[in-house]
Amino acid sequence: MTLDKPLTDALERDYRTAPVPPHERMMLEYVVKLTRDATQVSKDDHEKLRAVGFDDQAILQITLIASWFNYINRVADALGVGRK
């Protein structure tokens, strides 16, 4: 989390060009892939995360948190939460 408005704006525009460290960019790439189609996530993706410093516990936490947000957003969408 950050209160850095320029950073959050850059992340919203395109995380791939936002000024974030390489390990955070790799994490974002993993989360996007997980969100778009979790069946496409492979051991290679986990190896890429390990290569930038994430251990198995961190990979599990990233996966659980991203999955939970995906789940809760789908529930909210299905129930019309936030629609006017």
What structural domains does the chain harbor?
A: 5-79 (1.20.1290.10)
**Cβ–Cβ under 8 Å, residues 15 and 32:** yes
Distance CA 43, CA 83 (A): 38
Distance CA 24, CA 30 (A): 10
Q: How many Å is the Cα radius of gyration of the chain?
A: 14
Q: Report the predicted TM-score, pTM, of the whole model to 2 decimal places.
A: 0.86
Interval 35-78: pLDDT, tens: 999 999 999 999 999 999 999 999 999 999 999 999 999 999 99
The tokens of 25 are what? 């960019």
**pLDDT band at residue 82 under the 50/70/90 scheme:** confident
